[in-house]
């Protein structure tokens, strides 16, 4: 699948695992035994994972299938933005320690590969993504894409050596010793890491009330993306106009406009256009359903549908109108994933993360996810200027596409088709999903 879209986004996911059988005093875990080691990971990140291209492609297919499943599970009709890539990564670190029915449910809901290939495949995919912004060379990269993982573990608590090596070797997340009993300091440290990795786009995600002396592990992922359009919208062409919301109301919003050659398609009940970003590696695919048919198009949303849309794209002279938008979404992941069939990891009586410690004593007590996006004339807070000097004898009549009603957007890496962000805009004037 040729990639889908792009903008400027970030997202992050945190899961907190306390002791299922009751709290212990901080530091009461004792000395590590011969098969475990104390909150340290000397393993360096593996730079050449033992995985095939087909296994990486299978991981991408699974990640994208999960993205569409979660989109449908969230439902609603308000604005929405999330990073399925970030969520899949964070849960993959927990999956490394999952066993039994917990492992089975996680693999089934998140579409993971078997343990022996999942982590190496994710490492290979991350390593490929990390170099995208620099692949064209030059002093300034065409865009920024950074992904970071981190893990914090209770001082004195024992973790299996194999689990620590997986975190460090495939996710670059060497365990950091911390005292979760100092809740204010711990939440501040984690939030500071998140803010640093997302250029202050995600702040105060972790509150002190979700961490206490029974917490033993926090896993976190942060993703940050910043890029400019290959063909930017001219600010002087932006004018206030009417956007029809999902409820049929009209709101006045700034509408950006440009007329240029773009990949465009028309299909059963929709128009679509692909907006490339500088660097020619990531695109934004905007799908505008016919008026009143957002739900019908959302029901078809999936890899096959996006393949069909992308396969129908052809270069056209397009007069495009679409709004600026800037909003944020929080997802209730335990509730959403439980409804999708993944209940055991969040159940103290059923969770089996014995691959982390050798004992069935950890469960995921909190799973937070927040994502936000800003789209404007430049792309995503990245200035870009493109000048083409050409003389033509005639200009074809442009087809018209106006995203002046609810639309769906997806951001994906072009070569693999891995979806980084997926969402919809139903009211660009609102800052939240309500």
For every residue of 266-323, DSSP letters joined together read EETTEEEEEEEBTTSSEEEEEEEEPTT-HHHHHHH-SHHHHHHHHHT-EEEEEEEEEE
How many angstroms separate the CA atoms of 216 and 222, rounded?
Answer: 20
pLDDT digit string, tens, across residues 176-214: 898 988 989 988 998 899 898 889 988 888 888 888 888
At residue 389, the 3 state secondary structure works out as: coil
pLDDT digit string, tens, across residues 194-203: 898 889 988 8
How many angstroms separate the CA atoms of 402 and 367, rounded?
Answer: 37
If residue 62 lies in a helix (H) or strand (E), which one and from where to where? helix 53-74
103: tokens are 């492992």
Looking at residue 16, its pLDDT comes to: 52
- 299 CB contacts (<8 Å, ≥6 apart)? none
Specify the residue for token string 């979700």.
Answer: 210
Q: pTM for the complete prediction?
A: 0.82
Task: Express as a percent the part of the chain with pLDDT over 70.
Answer: 83
Looking at residue 305, its pLDDT comes to: 93
Q: Looking at mean pLDDT, say which of 12-21, 134-143, 362-371, 381-390 comes out highest.
A: 362-371
The pLDDT of 293-298, averaged and rounded, is 92
316: tokens are 């056209």
Q: Are 342 and 108 in contact (CB under 8 A)?
A: yes
pLDDT at 12 over 70: no
How many angstroms separate the CA atoms of 125 and 85, rounded?
Answer: 11
Of 224, 200, 73, 38, whose CA–CA distance to 148 is shortest?
A: 224
pLDDT at 7 over 50: no
Look at 128-132, 256-260, 331-335 and tell me which has the smallest mean pLDDT: 128-132
pLDDT digit string, tens, across residues 374-431: 999 987 532 221 111 122 234 456 788 888 889 888 888 888 888 888 889 888 888 7
CA 149 to chain CA centroid, nearest Å: 13
From start to end of 297-392, where are the E strands? 314-323, 325-332, 366-375
CATH T-level assignment (fold) for domain 9-227+327-373? Antithrombin; Chain I, domain 2 (3.30.497)
Burial class (CB in 10 A: 0-12, 13-18, 19+), 10: buried
Of 329, 319, 309, whose CA–CA distance to 426 is shortest?
A: 329
Looking at residue 3, its pLDDT comes to: 40
Looking at domain 235-325+376-425, its CATH superfamily turns out to be Alpha-1-antitrypsin, domain 1 (2.30.39.10)
What sign for the dihedral angle of Cα 193, 194, 199, 205? negative
Looking at residue 18, its pLDDT comes to: 60
Residue extent(s) of CATH 3.30.497.10 domains in the chain:
9-227+327-373
Tally of CA atoms within 13 A in the half-sphere of 85 that contains its CB: 30
Higher pLDDT, 111 or 178: 111
Q: Which residues pair with 357 in a beta bridge?
A: none
Of 74, 7, 77, 79, whose CA–CA distance to 431 is shortest?
A: 79
Looking at residue 260, its pLDDT comes to: 94
Specify the residue for token string 């997302």.
Answer: 198
How many angstroms separate the CA atoms of 313 and 269, rounded?
Answer: 15
240: tokens are 């206030």
pLDDT digit string, tens, across residues 117-171: 999 999 999 998 876 765 444 444 567 888 889 998 889 889 899 999 999 999 9
How many angstroms separate the CA atoms of 268 and 355, rounded?
Answer: 48
Q: Which residues pair with 225 in a beta bridge?
A: 145
pLDDT at 106 over 80: yes
Alpha helices for 30-152 (secondary structure H) = 53-74, 84-95, 100-110, 115-130
C-alpha dihedral (392, 396, 397, 403), degrees to nearest 10? -90
Higher pLDDT, 330 or 34: 330
CA angle 234-237-240, nearest 5°? 130
The pLDDT of 293-300, averaged and rounded, is 92
How many angstroms separate the CA atoms of 428 and 96, rounded?
Answer: 39
Looking at residue 327, its pLDDT comes to: 87
53-74 and 84-95 helices, crossing angle to 10°? 110
Residue extent(s) of CATH 2.30.39.10 domains in the chain:
235-325+376-425
Q: Are 252 and 240 in contact (CB under 8 A)?
A: yes
């Amino acid at each position: 699948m040729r990639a889908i879209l792009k903008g400027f986004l970030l997202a992050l996911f945190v899961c907190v695992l306390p002791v299922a059988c009751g709290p212990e005093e901080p530091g009461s875990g004792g000395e590590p035994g011969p098969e475990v080691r104390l909150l340290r990971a000397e393993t360096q990140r593996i730079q050449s994972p033992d995985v095939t291209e087909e296994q990486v492609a299978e991981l991408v297919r699974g990640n994208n299938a999960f993205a569409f499943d979660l989109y449908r599970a969230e439902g609603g009709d308000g604005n929405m933005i999330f990073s399925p890539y970030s969520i899949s990564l964070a849960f993959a670190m927990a999956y490394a320690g999952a066993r039994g029915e917990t492992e089975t449910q996680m693999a089934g809901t998140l579409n993971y590969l078997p343990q022996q290939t999942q982590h190496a495949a994710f490492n290979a995919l991350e390593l490929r993504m990390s170099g995208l912004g620099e692949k064209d060379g030059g002093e300034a990269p065409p865009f920024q894409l950074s992904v970071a993982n981190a893990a914090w573990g209770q001082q004195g608590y024992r973790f299996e050596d194999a689990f620590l090596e997986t975190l460090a070797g495939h996710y670059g997340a060497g365990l950091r010793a911390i005292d979760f009993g100092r809740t204010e300091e711990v939440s501040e440290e984690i939030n500071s890491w998140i803010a640093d990795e997302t250029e202050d786009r995600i702040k105060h995600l972790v509150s002190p009330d979700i961490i206490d002396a029974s917490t033993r592990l926090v896993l976190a992922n942060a993703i940050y993306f910043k890029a400019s359009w290959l063909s930017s919208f001219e600010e002087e062409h932006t004018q206030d106009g009417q956007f029809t919301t999902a409820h049929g109301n009209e709101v006045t919003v700034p509408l950006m406009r440009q007329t240029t050659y773009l990949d465009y398609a028309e299909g059963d009940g929709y128009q679509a256009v692909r907006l490339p970003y500088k660097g020619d590696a990531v695109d934004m695919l905007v799908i505008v359903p016919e008026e009143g048919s957002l739900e019908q198009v959302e029901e078809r949303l999936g890899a096959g549908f996006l393949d069909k849309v992308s396969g129908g794209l052809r270069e056209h002279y397009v007069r495009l109108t679409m709004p600026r938008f800037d909003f944020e979404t929080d997802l209730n992941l335990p509730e959403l994933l439980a409804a999708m069939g993944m209940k055991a990891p969040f159940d103290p009586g059923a969770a089996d993360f014995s691959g982390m410690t050798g004992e069935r004593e950890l469960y995921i007590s909190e799973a937070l996810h927040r994502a936000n996006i800003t789209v404007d004339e430049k792309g995503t807070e990245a200035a870009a200027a493109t000048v083409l000097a050409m003389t033509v004898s005639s200009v074809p009549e442009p087809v018209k596409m106006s995203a002046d009603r609810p639309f769906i957007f997806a951001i994906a890496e072009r070569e693999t088709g891995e979806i980084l962000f997926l969402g919809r805009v139903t009211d660009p004037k609102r800052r939240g999903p309500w």
